[in-house]
Structure 1
Amino acid sequence: MVETMIDFMLGPFTAISDFYFEYQIIFNTLIVGFALYKIIFNKKKNKDESVS
């Protein structure tokens, strides 16, 4: 169902959605990993600033 909606919205750009669906595990892993990295290191940075 989601794939049908994306195909309808993208129209002639369906190659983009095909590429994403083929490699979505890699993309989603990178995005979640980057978000976790930012959360962990921002907490550490804020903790270091509050100590000084």
Structure 2
Amino acid sequence: MVETMLDFSLGPHGRFLSNLYNEHQLIIHTFVIGIVIGNLVFKRFKKRKAPLNDNEQSSVNEVRSL
């Protein structure tokens, strides 16, 4: 069904894209998953290294003083 929609909307280019995707699914999926994992890891490290604002810093100091 998706193939017929691509054929209708994109014409001959849809058939080409469909064949290209079917032949290279593993490579395309690996690339996409790698980008997603890279973004998740980068955001996690960026969040850890972000400096604390004044409100968060004061609550950290309060906890340490207890």
TM-score, normalised by the number of residues in structure 2: 0.62
Structure 2 segments unaligned to the other structure (5+ residues): 53-66
The runs of 4+ residues in structure 1 deviating greater than 6 Å are none
Deviation, 1:7, is 3.1
Give 1 or 2 for the bigger CA radius of gyration: 2
The structure with more helix, counted as a fraction of residues: 1
Structure 1 segments unaligned to the other structure (5+ residues): none
- Higher relative CO (Cα under 8 Å, sequence separation at least 6) belongs to 1
CA separation in 2, counterparts of 1:8 and 1:21? 18
| 1:21 counterpart letter in structure 2 | N
Determine the structure 1 residue equivalent to 2:41.
40
Aligned residues: 51
Identity of aligned pairs, percent? 37
TM-score, normalised by the number of residues in structure 1: 0.73
Deviation, 1:47, is 0.7
